[in-house]
Structure 1
Amino acid sequence: MVWRLVTLPFRLLTAFSKSILAGLFLLALALSVAAVSFDSVFDRMSGLVEAVSPDFSVRSRQVRLLTAETSRAEAETKRADTAVAVAADLKERNATLSQNNDALTATNTALKQQGDTLTQANAALTAENKALKVTAAKASVNYQGRLIPAAEAVAEATRRMADRVIAGSARQIAAAPGEAIPFYGIPVIVALGAQALQDDCAALRDLHGLDVAFNPQTALGDGGACELSMPDAAALWAAVRGDVPALWQKLGQRFEGLPQLNLPDWWKTVLSLADGLLTPMPQVTAKP
């Protein structure tokens, strides 16, 4: 009897366990359907779960997922905004570069046109220069009473003056030792001076003829050079025997670097002896 009393609760629990389990199953099924169908039931059940274990509730997980998605969306939005700003900046730069390119293209076109114009002008000037050269080569002038080409007139005058300069230089060098001989060099000096005057007069006449050929209205004369004459040897010797200091002073007005003249006491004696040697004074002329 006692044993039956002891096991009575267990027998009652066994008898009612199937009914309880069935009821619990139905209750759980109803709660699941209600949680899925009604937001209020889902919120209450999520609140109960969060109260017991906040980290394992569905709503907490959804909030975390939503927060993560929001952060990713904001990051993507920022990247999109940055990309849009970069694209706008690139578009603006592209527009500026396009304008600059158009300006450079216009400048290049203008420079090319200027280059073509200058090339044409240069070609025209070259042709004109060639024509002028041909005209100048064919031009004739009146030189020394002859109508000859201008180039020939210039060449002839230049050649004649050059020949005289060359001959005069050789004559000057050859006569220098003779001029240095005391007393006997006087006729050589006179002959050399006379020939130099003759050459200078001829050169002036050539220049005058050339000037008349090209500038007949403004041609210059010889300036009286052809009217000059070299004193003969006797006149030159008379000047040396005269007032030598005065003569030397006049030379100092035309030449620089002349030494001071100091005549010795025997100067007149030497002049008298030389006068006896060179009387009469010979007349010397330069050979052509």
Structure 2
Amino acid sequence: MYRHFFVPVGGTDAAIEAVGHALEFARSIGARVTFFDACSEASAENRAAERFAKAEAAARAQGVPCASASRAPAHGANLALEVVVALARAHGCDLLCAPTDAPWLIRRQHAGDAFASCGMPVLMCAAPRHRVADLVIAKLLGQHRAIGAQLHDLLGEIHAAVSRGEPSGIAMEPLVAALREVQSLRDRPGRDACVFSRLRERTSAFDAELDELEHQHRHEAGLFGALLDSARAAAKGELPLACFEQQLQTCAQFIWEHMGREEGVILPAARRYLSDADWQEIGAALAVGAPSTNLEHTIGELRSSRA
């Protein structure tokens, strides 16, 4: 039986759901995992730290031993299947887990032949398709991505201000408003509560995890309160920007890990336990299929105002 999975992490819906699929299987057979950042995005927009934080948090919640492997610069942006397999072997892995949209598979004309010749077993991590469930989960993951993007924007702006030695008051004025907006976006009035509550109705197997997520959400509110106090202090020049940057990084890390547990534990469980009627009701409550969420609209306005 397989003992060590090599699990690429990425930012697409398929890649995010593949992590949860791989972790469930690893937990069921007592295997461990090594995560690898397989995204091909430009280095300036690299969000590997966020992806690793989310995947590792999900693994810890599932009780699966894990490690993360950074990509060497020599590997470049466009990985080939042979390179991924070589990296898996180098980390002592005996099973490669692949999302259905992995670019190093899509580029192969005949994926089945590639699997047969690559020299390592490959598990395709594909969630069962359900139209409404897919739409609901896509909407929730889209909100997670939007929140992550906003946090990265804030971190980037603060880091740039610190690097320039910019006076605190000048750097903080627009960021205090942006931080308040992020806090409001995280308040989630019904954003994923309907999935959580419906899962509680269908099984008690995840009550402990749901309780922990609710506890974390309350703790997150406290982190935001302290962060806003520090932002006001930094705006008055009473707190060095470098200290505020560290505090913001800590808050972002906490949010990433929280979202990772939702993505890697709760959403796979919801796919398994919720019925078609459940998904139909949740879809109606979330108005899936709407052209744009309030969250995406707000973030777009924030970015435009800071351009």
TM-score by length of 2: 0.25
Structure number with higher helix proportion: 1
Structure number with higher strand proportion: 2
Using CA pairs under 8 Å that are at least 6 residues apart, name the structure with larger relative contact order, 1 or 2: 2
TM-score by length of 1: 0.26
Structure index of larger Rg: 1
